[in-house]
Amino acid sequence: PFDSRFLPFSRLLLVCFCFTFAPSICNAVSYTFMALGSFIQVLPDSHFSIQNLPYGAFKAHPTAPARLATAIGDYVVDLSEIAKAGLFNGPILAASDCFLQPTLNNFLALGRPAWKEARATLQKLLSSTEPTLRDNADLRQKSLVPMSKVEMVIPMEIGDYTDFYSSMHHAKNCGTIFRGPQNAIPQNWFHLPIAYHGRASSIVISGTNINRPRGQGYPTGQSPPYFGPSLKLDFELEMAAVVGPGNELGKAIDVNEAADHIFGLVLMNDWSARDIQAWEYVPLGPFLGKSFGKTMYSCFSFELRLQTKRLDKSGEVMDSTGLKVGTTISPWIVTLDALEPFACDASKQDPHPLPYLAEKISKNYDIELEVASSLPLDFQYFTSYFIGCFPV
């Protein structure tokens, strides 16, 4: 009952939508339109086919400057080398230095026509029938870097981050924690997008260590509040939309034009300290319970390597093995153009939205989501199984 196009947009906005289970987005586009081949070997189980071509940023070594890239097979393609060779020669990108920058912000600000031009250029250059890169050994050596030799970094400067409450299953489970089963889902949830502004500085790339937060916990009965490590640590698998061009201050974007502002999707994990959150969130919403990390996961695989502290029944620490928590997003952004083969009709909104939220054409993306956890079962709690279509 909401759509990402209902949003106001900033210059670069990360918009997050919660699902119960998580996908490998890149893999979804790897087996589509296989008629287009590349001169670079791409194994059948690779997440990085020529149909995908996600965008990211990498460092050749830890102290090197970040460079922009796409991915194909087992290689990252250094877009700065492609740009310096003058191969982004279309009408929009020929005069732009956006691929010489350390982040994608300038490229994203150019909008959908530039995004389509870049994708068409890269697909042509990497195709099996195009000699420009294929037959230029020097340029191939400069621009094709084995993935195993690079460090991926966050590919954009995130100026704002908005977290949406989009899954009914999650809304019910989370609402039950805070308000009980009778008042789990507020009435407004069925009529408009529910969201809050997150802390953009807490977003990190997949694999970054994040500490278990400490704060005041929710008291029970007549007990006073307590301070210490969170005892109710939770994570939500989410998909985040990366937004490019924004809007003027005070000027709304029409719901039927909003898709042109969305560049692509990443996987995201939103970590929450539910005991801290439950105690602090009334009346203004989450603060420290949702501020300690947002984790971006690699779209081709991700692993919840959660090292936790074991507690006895009284809550005392028995032994400590450290902790990995946070808001994590993937280093690779899968574009909406790459996901177009997975577009599907949106489910019917009930009740029907107000006119300013009503789309002429309502479209979702059908992507299978799943999570794998290596934690012992006594540390796990799963919400109901849920399959959702991503609204765009």
Q: What is the CATH number of the domain that holds 113?
A: 2.30.30.230
| Closest C-alpha to 269, from 292, 234, 288, 294 | 294
Considering the domain boundaries, does residue 7 fall inside one?
A: no
The answer to whether residues 179 and 308 belong to one domain is yes
Q: What is the pTM of this model?
A: 0.79
Asked if the structure places residue 98 within a domain, the reply is yes
Task: Reply yes or no on whether the pLDDT at 388 is more than 80.
Answer: no
Asked if 38 contacts 52 with a C-beta cutoff of 8 angstroms, the reply is: no
Q: Tell me, yes or no, whether 178 and 142 share the same domain.
A: no
Identify whether residues 133 and 262 lie together within a single domain: no
Binding-site positions for substrate: 165, 179, 277, 281
Quick one: pLDDT at residue 198? 77
Q: Are residues 149 and 265 in the same domain?
A: no
Domain containing 101: what range?
Answer: 20-153
- What are the structure tokens assigned to 197, written together? 């502004």
CATH classification of the domain holding 320: 3.90.850.10
> CA-CA distance, 288 to 215, in Å (whole number)?
8
Give the model's pLDDT for residue 167: 79
The pair of structure tokens assigned to 204 is: 């990190």
Least confident of 97-106, 166-175, 242-251: 166-175
For residue 15, is it within any domain?
Answer: no
Q: Tell me which residue of 118, 109, 59, 367 sits closest to 261, measured CA to CA.
A: 109
Same structural domain for residues 141 and 277? no
Q: Is the pLDDT of residue 175 over 50?
A: yes
- At which of 153, 188, 204 does a domain end? 153
Q: Are residues 124 and 201 in the same domain?
A: no
How far apart CA 388 and CA 390 sit, in angstroms, is 6
Shared domain for 352 and 264, answered yes or no, is yes
Same domain, 253 and 190: yes
319: pLDDT strictly greater than 50: no
Q: Is residue 14 part of a domain?
A: no
- Residue scoring higher pLDDT (32 or 362): 362
Same domain, residue pair 84 and 121: yes
Residue 322 lies in a domain: yes
Once rounded to an integer, what is the mean pLDDT over residues 238-248?
Answer: 88
- Is 364 within a domain? yes
Residues 234 and 109 placed together within one structural domain of the fold? no
Report residue 285 as tokens.
């919403």
Contacts of 103 (CB under 8 A, 6+ apart): 57, 66, 68, 155, 156, 157
Is 191 an annotated catalytic residue?
no
Q: What is the mean pLDDT of residues 279-298?
A: 58
Separation of alpha carbons 331 and 69, rounded Å? 10
CA distance linking residue 124 with residue 299, whole number of Å: 23
124 and 204 together in one domain: no
Annotated binding site: 163, 165, 179, 236, 238, 270, 277, 281, 290, 327
Q: Which of 47, 170, 191, 261 does the annotation list as catalytic? A: 170
User: With contact defined as beta carbons under 8 Å apart, do 390 and 339 qualify?
Assistant: no
Domain boundary residue, one of 94, 127, 153 = 153
Is 331 or 326 the better-scoring residue by pLDDT? 331
- Binding-site residue numbers for Ca(2+) are 163, 236, 238, 270
**Looking at per-residue confidence, does 183 or 35 come out higher?**
183
Q: Mean pLDDT of all residues in the chain? A: 78
Domain stop point among 99, 118, 153: 153
Token representation of residue 72: 């194909």
pLDDT category, 232, cuts 50, 70, 90?
Answer: confident
Same domain? 129 vs 272: no
Q: Name all contacts of 303-308 with Cβ < 8 Å and 24+ positions apart.
A: 303/372, 303/374, 304/235, 304/269, 304/371, 304/372, 304/373, 304/374, 304/375, 305/374, 306/373, 306/374, 306/375, 308/212, 308/233, 308/375, 308/379
Residue 11 belongs to some domain of the structure: no
Total domains in the chain come to 2
* Residue 8 within any structural domain of the chain: no
